[in-house]
Each structure stands twice: as structure tokens, then as C-alpha cells.
A and B are shown apart, each in its own frame.
Chain A
């Protein structure tokens, strides 16, 4: 295969120089075997423009730092092979999240807020006893919790979600998946009704319009459709119970 010269068309904006308006800038780079967008961006920074801002940490598709719009689609840049892309590659920062500069966005603040809203930690009255054996758990349940816990908070599902794009308080698929993670954990003593108070609203589960843009974009292949359905089912049940009690 003849070696390609790739054109990267990259969104640029530095908050330190607000007088320079956001713009697209083109860079040329020769493609090498097994090149990823991670490799390409680092080469661009080292060889052409050292001011270029972007975020990578693990470069192994496990930390969730590097999601961006690659030719319009939210995905992890570190595991995207250039060979799978056309010669012209457009890179944009993820929408919804606050822009830090160029391709870098602040997903951390968004996810911490989501965790605070959903109180994403184990709620229990049990005290930890350092001398006791651990409480037992069925391995199947452990694996189910693990499945939901695999979310790497990359934000791809949020960026692609119509609701999240116009409601900045919507929990999104990642948020609802987080709720599901604690709903199925026997160590968490919250009842579905308590959870319902948090998510049984438009910001929560009922804001979802179910188009499933999120589902096939999750790089961890978390079955978001199933998780959303689970939360919705439990919430409906909790809502009915509340109605009956009134």
C-alpha cells in the first residue's frame, strides 16, 4: 500500500488568547504502520506545533481521557487507527463538556457532579469490622456489578446524547448506568424508592428519549440499552408504589 499523507483538520482555541477566535487548522503528516490518533497528535505536537492541547493518559483505552469527535463521531483517540479513516481527518473536542483548550475538555468536573447527584457510593449502616471475615457474595452478582462498574467515564455516550446536549442537568447513559450499578449491589441499602427521588425526574431517567445513540458508541461495550431499561423498570415500579401509598 502506498504511504498516505494525512490531513488533520483540528479545532483550535486557547482561552489565554480570547482575541483569536476558535478556528480549524490543517496539518499534514505521513502515515506510519499501526498509527493511532494518539501517535499522530503527539507527533504533531513534537514536530509541528508544541502548543497543541489534548489529553491522553493510559494510551490503552482504559482511562477514558481521550474521547473526541473524530470525523464527527465520539470515540477514544488512543485506540483509533488512522488506517480505518479517510485521508482527511477532522478532530473536534467533545460537545456538552466545558472546553479547556483545543481538543481538551473537562470531563472530570461533569463526572464528579454526576457522582455527587446520584450519591454514587455504597450507603450502609453496617460498620466495618477489621477483625471479621469479609461478607460473602455470589460470584454471579459480583460479575454483574463489575459489568456496570466498567464505565471509564469517557463521555462518549454523553456527547452523542440528544437530551444531554440541550439539558445540562441530564444524567445521561453513564449516569443511569452508575445508578444501576448501585441498585444491583446488595451492600447498598438504599431502596429503589430512595433512588427514585434522585433519578425519577426529567434530569434522570425520564429525560431519556430512547434513541439509543449512546448504546453502540460506548468503547467499553457496556450494554447501555439493558442498563437504562433496568433503571426505568425499577423506577416505574417505585413510582407506582409511591402512587399507591398516596
Chain B
């Protein structure tokens, strides 16, 4: 390694999505020097893809009147199927309104309240009052008692990211894009920063910091078909797991979104159903009210996705060369509404399906979407296991979402948690001293350089893309929406075989410079470790909770499973070590969600 390439900073943030940038802005505003690493320029991070909006109980619109943090809290805990940390949820709902208003202060053009009488698609008449004119508006999302999702037309994530990044630029925060963190530098007690591979040159360099924050987003792409961006490969979680001392929480909690389009899996927002869209089957029958008479299309995502898959399994899916799907119908919302508030949906339909949603039905199927699991942290954002390591956003398991995240709660989490963790990190670095054991650093870099050398010279036989495809298919087919012991056992066996084989990769290109095959080869073993955490966690958990649904254990089992999985990967192990911890339940005791298959309530349709 070249010591002169080493970059030293007070705070190292890995990830430039909303969570990472919000942490950096908070720490920088407290006067600390920050450096952000990212695979891509910040404004290309996956956060920009969020169309729908973020939840905060402002209660500015007619259907949101009377909303407050208590109602938001209850929705969040029920949504999580009592899997979330309730003190975290409380902190979150109290801060979300501040986060939304602060983003407005930083420039987000939130859609505003326009007063007047309106008729909803179901015929109800409502009136937005003149005294609320010009305040931030909310729309409906699934699993919420009130309209609570603040939005900017059809591009909430985009404008949030652009405003956050404008603050990063204003504050002069250093950003190194095309710089991939590939390992943490640590001694089993402290984290000292990370080793990164430059995606412009293919070389490695050390980043040393008092505090290191993982904000690398989700791992959706290990499922192959996912609504996530192609860069969402979970490497941030993987390098935390690789330390052997930092656990990942609840990796078996994987969210499937009801409306990925067929084929391409691009998401069309929950706003479609929030604004009054229906789900139809092959007979053009609106089937959701049959299963969910109260919430209909707007039950929580895990429930709607299961109802859809169940309905398809009963033979009501529409056949297509890409497998059976259902229809999303938003034609009745009218051209004007569609081309203003859901324009992104219209564009996606036009570009990728060649259809016009004002006239045509949209083919949809539940698709992998969100990772509730991630680097386990306490309420301040400190990662378990290593001092000086923190996490925020989708890559963290703060645990706001438990076993199912509510739509709109993720953007809100990135900003609220970013604010909280940023302040915590600022405090931490004030006390901490800069101190780096030099051999630890050079060994960490050397280890990565060796890996590449090995890849370029080894006599392995395995093709990285072929192994990867098998991993994707295994997860999708055996660790999907409906799970059972036989499938999960098979998945664990296949994945551990793939993991063994991933140690014997053979490059087919020369591997020189910023070579993408090298990047893929370096990532694959870590991705397989995540896959094994998901599959073993799911196999062990003999109950159904939120998005984790076991056909052989269809009920929630609070007596035995009201706990969180912690997956560790001990040095040299070939399987994760699963531990469990209690969940903080200090306000709302476990009960009935009011939708879904529910504990103590007869199973509808399942």
C-alpha cells in the first residue's frame, strides 16, 4: 500500500444516499470534518428513486386532520407486527415533522395544500380548509390510519436527495464517488475506518477516521429481481458482518412490494393505491376487498403482497411469458391527476411497457423491495460490537420497522436517523482521539490487494456471474414471500455450496484497472454471507411475523418469538451464528394489527 494515498478525516461516512448525507450534514454543522464515500455520485444514489413520499404526522389535509405522533406510532408498531423497538419508534414519530419542515427550509418543493371540496375515487366528499392553504400536503399510503405521507409531486426521493446534496455542497463536505468500501479496519474493539477500492483506477487506499458510519442502503439485488437499483448489493452490511463482532439484525425480514411491473421489476409507487387505484385479477375482478374488507388495497405491504400471491396461486393470475401477474388499475383517477401527481408512473409505463395508464391496465407482481434487517445499532446509532462504528438508513437495523416497514417510513427514517446519528457522531468525535495502529492499517489494505492478486493468478474454475445467478434464483424461489422448512433447508444447502465455490473464482478478463469483473468477484462472497444470514434466520424462526411468512407456522408466536435475530459471522466460519435478543416494548403490548392473517383471528383466505 502507499501511505501517501491514505485519507484521514474525523468522520467517514460510507454511502451518499439520504441517510449518509444527512449524517454528514449534521456532523459538519457541528464543525467536524467529514468525508463521504459512494459508489456513484450522490445524486444517483438509490434514494432518488423513491417516488411516493415520507411520513410525518402534520395533519394538514382533510383526511389527515387529527393526526399526531401517537397515531403514527401506533401505525408503525402495528405495521412492524410488534417487531420494532418502541423507544426508537417513539423518538422517530416525534422527530419526523421536524425533519420534513427542515427539508422544506433546505429547498424541497413539497406539494402544498390547495383548499376546497374534493371527491375521492370511492365517492366520499372531503373538504380541505382554507386555513391550511399552502401548508405541506399529505397523501394516503398503506397501513396508516390517516393521510400522512408528505410528497413532492411524483419525485419525492429525487428532490430530497437534491436538497440534501445541495447542503453537502454548501458545507463543503468532501465526497469521493466511485470509491467502494471493501473492508472495515478494526481490532475487534475499535473501528478505525475502511479500506476502499477506487472504481476509477482499481487501486486500494485506506480511509482513517475517528468515527465510521455505514449508510450503504439495501441489498435488494441479491434477489436478482428487485425494485432496487443495480448498485444495491449490500456490501456495507457485508463488511460489517465480516468483522466477526458486529451482528446483523433480523435479516430474514425482507419486504416485497405489491407493485413491481412485469417484466423489468421497476416499481410503481404505493401512491397509485393510496390515490385510489385497484388491484384486479384475470377476470378483472377487484379481489382485495374479499380478503381485506376494511383496508382493501391499503393494508400493509406484507399483507397485500401475500394476498396477491395467494390469489395467483388460486389460479386467478394473468398468464404472461414472464409468469403470472395481476393488474393495477388507475384509469379512473383521470388523466389530469395521473399526469401531475403520478407522472413518474406514466413515464415508466410509457418507457418500459409502451402503455398509457390513463387507458391501460398495468401488469404487476409482488417484488423484493426493502431490507428491514441490517447493521444492528442502539437507539443512538452505535453499531453493536465495535466502538467508533455507526450505521444509518436502510443498511441499519435501528429497528424502526421490525418485520414490516410502512410505506413512507423509510425516507423519513433516513432523515430522522441521519439527524440523530449525526448528532451522536459529532459528540463521539469530540471525545475520541485520532490513533491508528499502523500495521493494522497496512495489513488490512494488503489483505485486499492480495485478494485481487489471487483472483488474477489463481487456478479457480468458477464464473462469478454464474454463481451469482444461482444465488439470486435460490433466494427468489426458496426464501420469498411464502416460506417453509423444506424449501429453506434446500436454500441453506445450495447457498452454502455456492459460498464454498465462491472461494474458487476464475476471472475471464485480465482484471486490470477499474475492471468490473474484479468488482463483482470481490463482492460475491459477502453477498452470499448475507444470503445465508437471511435463509438461516428464516429457517430458524418458526412463526409468521410481518413479511416473514411460514406456511408451516402460519401464526405469530409471541410466547417464543417476540425477539430479534442477531446474525454473527465468526472468523473462519462457513455459517452464521444466530443469537436472539429481546425487543423493547414499553408502550403498546402485542395485539391484533386490524388487517392481515392476525393472531387469534381466523385466517382469511390462507
Residues of A within 8 A of B (CB): 14-17, 33-34, 36, 45-46, 49-53, 55-65, 79, 100-101, 106-108, 111-112, 115-116, 119-122, 124, 126, 128, 130, 132-139, 142-143, 145-146, 149-150, 152-153, 185, 187-188
Contacts and interface: CB of A to CB of B under 8 A. Distances in A.
Contacts of A52: 516
A63 B48 contact: yes
Nearest to B103: A134
Contacts of A121: 106-107, 166-167, 169-170
Interface of B: 40-46, 48-49, 98, 100-102, 104-107, 109-114, 133-137, 152-153, 155, 158-159, 162, 165-167, 169-170, 175, 177-178, 200-202, 229-231, 263-264, 266-267, 321, 340, 344, 347-348, 351-352, 464-465, 507-510, 512-517, 520
A57 B231 contact: yes
A16 B48 contact: no
A138 B107 CA distance: 14
A57 B230 contact: yes
A10 to B, nearest CB: 14
Contact of A130 (B98, B104, B175): B98
Given A50-B465, A120-B166, A107 B153 contact: no
Contacts of A146: 109, 111, 152-153, 155, 159
Contacts of A136: 112, 133-135
A59 B41 contact: no
A59 B111 contact: no
Contacts of B508: 50
B229 A58 contact: yes
B239 to A, nearest CB: 20
B133 A16 contact: no
A150 B229 contact: no
Given A108-B41, A128-B102, A139-B113, A57 B46 contact: yes
Contacts of B41: 107-108, 111-112, 153
A13 to B, nearest CB: 10
Given A136-B135, A139-B112, 19 more contacts: A16-B201, A50-B465, A50-B508, A50-B509, A51-B509, A57-B229, A59-B229, A60-B266, A62-B155, A63-B43, A100-B178, A108-B177, A121-B107, A126-B105, A138-B112, A138-B134, A142-B110, A143-B340, A145-B109
Contacts of A107: 41
B343 to A, nearest CB: 9
A52 B378 CA distance: 42
B321 to A, nearest CB: 8
A100 B514 contact: yes
A44 B107 CA distance: 42
B517 A139 contact: no
A116 B510 CA distance: 39
Given A112-B41, A136-B112, A50 B517 contact: yes
Contacts of B165: 115
Contact of A64 (B43, B111, B159): B43
A56 B230 CA distance: 7
Contacts of A153: 41, 43
9 contacts: A51-B512, A107-B41, A108-B40, A108-B178, A121-B107, A124-B105, A134-B135, A135-B104, A142-B112
A142 B155 contact: no
Contacts of B229: 57-59, 63
B513 A134 contact: no
B232 to A, nearest CB: 9
Given A60-B49, A128-B105, A15 B201 contact: yes
A122 B167 CA distance: 9
A146 B159 CA distance: 8
Nearest to B165: A115
Nearest to A76: B351
B134 A137 contact: yes
A95 to B, nearest CB: 19
Contacts of B48: 58, 62-63, 152
Given A50-B508, A152-B158, A17 B513 contact: yes
Contacts of A152: 43, 48, 158
Given A100-B178, A139-B111, A58 B46 contact: yes
A177 to B, nearest CB: 12
Contacts of A79: 351-352
Contact of A63 (B44, B107, B136, B177): B44
Contacts of A128: 101-102, 105
B7 to A, nearest CB: 17
Q: Max chain B CB contacts within 10 Å: which of A49, A119, A128?
A: A128
A8 B104 CA distance: 46
A51 B158 contact: no
A202 to B, nearest CB: 24
B63 to A, nearest CB: 17
Nearest to B469: A46
B159 to A, nearest CB: 5
